Structure 1
């Protein structure tokens, strides 16, 4: 006889599931897994540290390099002229002339200056593996810097200051090793100087290091530790995210304590501050500086707790020609320094 149920009376098939929805009878966790991650979940995932893939830290002697750019401008007094001639892609010659005054050490608060002039001739050779830099003055003083990369990880460095005056020449030789996430250095110098340092990345932003030295001629030794925190993202309440934050700290058994902080406010402006304490001399100094980059000029300056104000302006007038203005004012000692210079190079 056949079935008594008509096909025309059958209910319509269920609609297909929507895109991205979980299939029927799926567990409740599947619906949450199908949703896109929330912003705070993405941030939490980025904060996980991969300790097997940490970045290589900066060299031990350069942990405060960002602060030095703003807080240690190369101010000068009088006139300065620098000329650089490129003879090839790797070799260059330089001439430097300066006229001004130099301060003499004194027991009292007064400042004693004598006029001076200087001429230096220099030669530089730089390629991917070798760096040779030398300068000699008209009085016979020589400054030598050399670096040779034996491998991608091992480098030899040599610095020397030679003079005709007895017991004033200095020299230092070092061997640097660059690892995947650490750096180490061994130093040997004149006057029976021996030293070494080591710095290790602990996280992607934090690196810790230590150093030790022995000065045999004076029978002195010392140990120091450093910490450097460098990040590319800094959340703020008022302006969201700013790039470039570097904080460093250094303590040594010689009685020296040094702290520095650099904040990149924008692509053109960086602010810096530091604190120095010397236990032996009981000298405490704090300073605040800035580094302002314009399209064709750069302005750097600082103010410290001793009342010293300094500034250095470098203006690039044309390609290869830079004009410099320098000023330093110390009202307490009544010491005022002003200078201008030009730098010409190809």
Structure 2
């Protein structure tokens, strides 16, 4: 038996040795290959398509996100507004204001005179929202109107007019808007004024453009350049002009209810620099806006919703440098 077992073992040894000398199996790279393919697809999807860039905002609206925070509509005195829609295409408005108007003296002293005005307005808009016409007339003898008509998807026309008793206050301005797939342009014509601007998308988030204006009566002209970068929660803009103005603005949306904005304005000729920080907070029943600048001006505007269609407004502006303090309150009825 021992001899039989030993021969069986000897017969098995060559097979085992042959198995040990066989090459190892090839590794499976299918998982790594699929991972690289997925990573390549993600990279290609994130690559911007420069042939289908989004349409940018108009040149004059590149800072629209920061207007509510940096330029609250403050006033001094009493304001009462009523907005009444007769139907979905026709609206009426009544506005009563009693307060003070400021007269600049050229120095730190500011003169104020009492004023009281009533203004009646009407607005007409079609169902497709391609035609808009509105007019305002006040007891101070001023009549203003605006007509906006979108002729096609890429061509629009706007006419602004104003008639007033004061000299050099009556004027008519005509704007022509052109829209492309990733650009827009505008031509402005008015009394003694010719202007044009162009804005182009460079990447999905970056756009740039410029403007040119000419005053034939004064033989003056100017050129301006602008950049705008828009992210998911921020908008940054920069503007420079040959008139000696440089402006930079940054707006950040902290949340759905809070927006913060900062503005830097530099007049190169006079070397005046102003920095402003503003905020816009929307709560369930109120909206609070305000700003603080380096000139010592603190501004706040509170809109409290009493009930649907009824808002109470409180306004305050304190200029410590010029000892100028303005406070106002008002009621806005209607949407």
Match of 1:219 in 2: 219
1:260 positional shift: 0.2
The CA deviation at 1:46 is 5.1
Q: 1:126 Cα deviation (Å)?
A: 1.7
- 2:14 aligned residue: none
Shift of 1:282: 2.6
SS, match of residue 252 in structure 2? strand
Aligned-pair distance for 1:164? 1.7
- Structure 2 vs 1, CA of residues 25 and 209 (structure 1 numbering), >3 Å: closer, same or farther? same
1:64, CA displacement in angstroms?
Answer: 0.5
Look up the match of 2:111.
112
CA distance in 2, matches of 1:209, 1:280: 24
Residue pairs, 1:57-206, within 5 angstroms: 57-127=56-126, 128-191=129-192, 193-206=193-206
Per the alignment, in what secondary structure is the counterpart of residue 70 of structure 1?
helix
Aligned to 2:210: 210
Distance 1:120 1:316 in 2: 24
Structure 1: gaps of 5 or more residues: 1-23, 233-243
Q: How far apart, CA to CA, are the structure 2 residues paired with 1:345 and 1:83? A: 6
Say how many residue pairs are matched: 309
Select the structure of larger CA radius of gyration.
2
Higher helix share: 2
Q: Is the deviation greater in 292-301 or in 279-288?
A: 279-288
Cα drift, residue 69 of structure 1? 1.2
Residue aligning to 1:6: none
Q: What is residue 19 of structure 1 aligned with on the other side?
A: none
1:256 aligns with 2:245: yes
Q: For 2:153, what is the secondary structure of its paired residue?
A: coil
Q: Deviations over 1:286-336 (max 9, x none)?
A: 100001011121110000000000011111111111110100001111111
Contiguous gaps of at least 5 residues in structure 2:
1-24
The Cα of 1:170 is off from its aligned counterpart by: 2.4
Q: CA deviation at 1:281?
A: 3.1
Question: CA offsets, 1:240-268, max 9 Å, x none?
Answer: xxxx2000000011111111000111111
Residue 159 of structure 1: CA displacement?
Answer: 1.5
Shift of residue 43, structure 1, vs aligned partner: 6.9
Q: 1:185-334, aligned counterparts within 5 Å?
A: 185-191=186-192, 193-232=193-232, 244-334=233-323
Cα deviation code 1:197-221 (max 9, x no counterpart): 0000001100001110111011100
TM-score (norm 1): 0.85
SS at match of 1:151: coil
1:125-177 residue CA offsets vs partner (Å, 9 max, x unmatched):
12211011111111210221210010011000111222122222222101101
CA distance in 2, matches of 1:114, 1:61: 33
Superposed CA RMSD in Å reads 1.9
Residues 146, 26 of structure 1: CA spacing in aligned structure 2 closer, same or farther, 3 A cutoff? farther
1:97-119 C-alpha deviation (Å, 9 max, x unpaired): 00110110113211211111111
